[in-house]
Amino acid sequence: MAEVKLLGLWYSPYNHRVEWALKIKGVEYEFIEENLQNKSPLLLESNPIHKKIPVLIHNGKSICESMVIVEYIDETFEGPPILPQDPHDRAIAHFWAKFFEEKGPAVGKSFLLKGEEQEKAKKEVCDMLKILDNEFKDKKFFVGDKFGFADIAANAAALWLGVLEEASGVVVVTSEKFPNFCRWRDEYINCSQNKEYLPPRDELLVHFNARFQAAASAPK
């Protein structure tokens, strides 16, 4: 059997994109939890340019960047397709994946940073939500009538944003402001198939609660 290792962080949305793809394809893998304060020699060697998780190691070869890994998994392993087959649909999926690569990091920053950087990130999140709210005015998925590549890329907006809101006590998303986004998000989180792939919300909440508490009690 192919040897697959994933270097990651269980609470990271980037990591979960990859886990999701591996689960869709039914690939068995060894998960190696990294410590960002003390990165492993394997991580530094496997991703020498960015030194970031996630990294997939397949038969000794490393692949970096979460959505690049998801596409690699889609092309390498048997199982249900993640990217659409039609070139125009694939382009729409790639377009949205790039959108979330660019806009997604603001989700974490808008809660975990402070001052000017935090305000800038909050504005980015609101701009992103406006776009998504408009996008889901008359559709349910990013591409056609199926959940796939772009939706996996959107996981931080769908799940982590709400968890960070609850842990920090700061509300950004309301159904009055972003009704279509909220409908999409609720279906995303509650659909039975996704539930199987997403990390447990309560465990994420415990993790981020602890982070906010630690930040609040840290010396100023």
Quote the tokens at residue 186.
């609720």
170 binds a copy of itself (CB under 8 A): no
Binding segment toward a copy of itself, per CB under 8 A, in 55-63, 114-122, 141-149, 195-203: 55-63
- Provide the strand spans (E) within the chain: 4-8, 30-33, 55-58, 61-64
99 binds a copy of itself (CB under 8 A): yes
β-bridge pairing 4-8 and 55-58? antiparallel
Binding segment toward a copy of itself, per CB under 8 A, in 2-10, 20-28, 93-101, 184-192: 93-101
57 binds a copy of itself (CB under 8 A): no
**Letter for the amino acid at 169?**
G
Contacting residue, 69, 150, 154, 159, with a copy of itself by CB under 8 A: 69
8 Å CB contact between 40 and 32? yes
User: Could you give phi then psi for residue 172, rounded to 5 degrees?
Assistant: -110, -40
68 binds a copy of itself (CB under 8 A): yes
- Using the structure block, give the residue that is written with the tokens 């998801």: 70
**Letter for the amino acid at 78?**
E
CB of 171 to a copy of itself, least distance (A): 25
88 binds a copy of itself (CB under 8 A): yes
Taking phi over 0 as left and psi of -120 to 50 as alpha, with beta for the rest, 51 belongs to: left
Task: Tally Cβ neighbours within 10 Å of residue 81.
Answer: 13
CB of 50 to a copy of itself, least distance (A): 9
CB of 143 to a copy of itself, least distance (A): 13
User: Interface residues with a copy of itself (CB under 8 A)?
Assistant: 49, 58, 61, 63-65, 67-69, 71-72, 75-76, 87-88, 90-91, 94-95, 98-99, 101, 131
